[in-house]
Structure 1
Amino acid sequence: MLWNPVFSCFAFYSTLLILKMYILAIITGQLRLRKKAFVNPEDAARHGGDRFCRNDPDVERCRRAHLNDMENIFPFLFLGSIYSFTEPSLVAARGHFLIFFVARIVHSVAYLLALKAPTRSLAYTIAQLPCISMVIQILVAMASYA
């Protein structure tokens, strides 16, 4: 599959997106430790006692950013992989993948830093555009087989 330049481009951006998700998970864990805000009693007990079994707004913000990534990046991984085999031009495909990637980076930064609205929602919307485009192109390409 790596001989397919579109799929190779997709694999590159997908790997960066997964790396970004891992980084958000690490940030969440580090915030939990720094803020002493644990959701599991056994973790709180290990780090000072039951009073640390609590929620923290900063940890929750980071966790929500991570959850939002899962809600959006996982569908992108499916769509992008199928789209890669519909024989799109490399330039068009790279544009789809790059726009999604950059918009998701901006979305995460906006979420973590609580940037002024509508930065986060605009980044979310921009990231949806290549996904909608890929859905349409996949459906058109597969319509003759249905």
Structure 2
Amino acid sequence: MTVKVVENQKELEDAYSVRKTVFVEEQAVPLEEEIDAYEDDAEHFVMYDEGSPIAAGRFRFVDGYGKVERICVLKVARKTGAGKAMMNAIEGYALKKDIHKLKLNAQTHAIPFYAGIGYEVVSEEFLDAGIPHKTMLKEI
């Protein structure tokens, strides 16, 4: 498994493909909510396994925080360490940019995953695209 910072259109399309499979097809998030106005302002990440895209995420600097967004792993690659590897790559990218405070909005079912890698819940539950979330923070 290899995580890449997206550098070209094909890699971006690969990242979008994973996001569409997970969020639009599996979770019924409307495409217009999934692919949003912040795409051009974000750094995108894609993970490959033997040449096939299996995970994606994006990162933006917002209100003094590195904002980790759109983390997703295809069903076939879940429970393999792919999510942790993606988060490690994004956190490494943040450190290279001298960003030490990270924030994310976690779907409530994913809170144990993020808590296990050091994120702490800092909000009440709220809905995003009809899915329950909580905001989490981590200092790196």
TM-score where L is the length of structure 2: 0.30
Q: Which has the higher contact order (CA 8 A, sep 6+)?
A: 1
Larger Rg: 1
TM-score where L is the length of structure 1: 0.29
